[in-house]
Amino acid sequence: MTDSVDDPVAHNRAAWDKYVEEGNEWSRPVSKEDIERARAGDWSVVLVGYEQVDRSWLPADLSGKDVLCLASGGGQQGPILAAAGARVTVFDNSPRQLGQDQMVAARDGLDLRTVLGDMRDLSAFADGVFDVVFHPVSNLFVPDVAAVWRECFRVLRPGGTLLAGFLNPDVYLFDHEALDERGELVVVHKLPYSDVTEYSAEERARKFGADAALEYSHTLTDQIGGQLAAGFVVTGFAEAPHQSNASAAYLSHYFATLAVKPG
């Protein structure tokens, strides 16, 4: 495998390809019944955690809208939005994640295409070609996010919207093993956190597994301030807990923003 420190994109591509093989919960495609309900107008998608996105954050009528599902492979959000009438492009770093979307599109005859790449580089798309960018919790897998927001702004049409989900950076304060194994909140890390800088390769392999995806925390200045710096106007905010984590009783794990490209 390529050195994960030198090439986190390659490392995380391989990691997510393996997660698909293992049946990761974010790699399980929606059912044919889900698609049929979405075609009939009964649909929902997840932006953060397990919370259904506020439907008012999306166009009332998705018919003919160009939607980019950014770093959103896995056969889940993209196919549902396509069944609801949107022209969907799913962009993801993992070929196997995109394969889940391709399978659902072929199975159910959806208007959906897939593009492989790094979420920080959307040069595959011209300026101003999307009405909506739907970006669920995934930028924890890249070491910097400023380019993500700049590229989202560039590819949106004036008046277009960005729906973004991301982790509360405070969740990275705690010791992974103490939290997951004993439910103890033990503060051990400084923020911003990075798997690469916090642990050696040997320590990462012991704690998370040799093939685990690399994670990076990002400050709220980078997450929300980065959207503002890119030119967006933030018009909506929400937060959600992690349903199965011991720290959920003390803090929200997920944040979501709705941002508009001025028209």
pLDDT in tens, 111-142: 999 999 999 999 999 999 999 999 999 999 99
pLDDT in tens, 46-82: 999 888 999 999 999 999 999 999 999 999 999 999 9
210 domain residue, yes or no: no
193 domain residue, yes or no: no
191 domain residue, yes or no: no
61 domain residue, yes or no: yes
Task: Tell me which residue has tokens 């690469």.
Answer: 196
pTM of the model: 0.95
Note the pLDDT of residue 3: 39
For residue 154, CA distances in Å to 28, 71, 134 come to 31, 16, 14
Q: Any idea what the CATH number is for the domain that residue 105 is in?
A: 3.40.50.150
Note the pLDDT of residue 178: 85
Q: Smallest Cα–Cα separation from 189: which of 207, 205, 164, 165?
A: 207
Q: Is the pLDDT of residue 4 over 50?
A: no
175 domain residue, yes or no: no
Distance CA(67)–CA(89), nearest Å, equals: 6
User: How large a percentage of the chain has pLDDT more than 90?
Assistant: 86
Assess contact for 259 and 182: CB atoms under 8 A.
no
Note the pLDDT of residue 167: 95
How many structural domains does the chain have? Answer: 1
Cis peptide before 192 (omega within 30 of 0): yes
Query: What's the average model confidence in pLDDT over 141-167?
Result: 98
| Domain boundaries, position 156 | 8-168+218-260
Backbone Cα Rg of the chain: 18
98 domain residue, yes or no: yes
Assess contact for 189 and 198: CB atoms under 8 A.
yes
3 domain residue, yes or no: no
User: How large a percentage of the chain has pLDDT more than 70?
Assistant: 97
**Count of all residues that appear for the chain in the document:** 263
Distance CA(41)–CA(56), nearest Å, equals: 14
Note the pLDDT of residue 246: 76
Note the pLDDT of residue 231: 98
96 domain residue, yes or no: yes
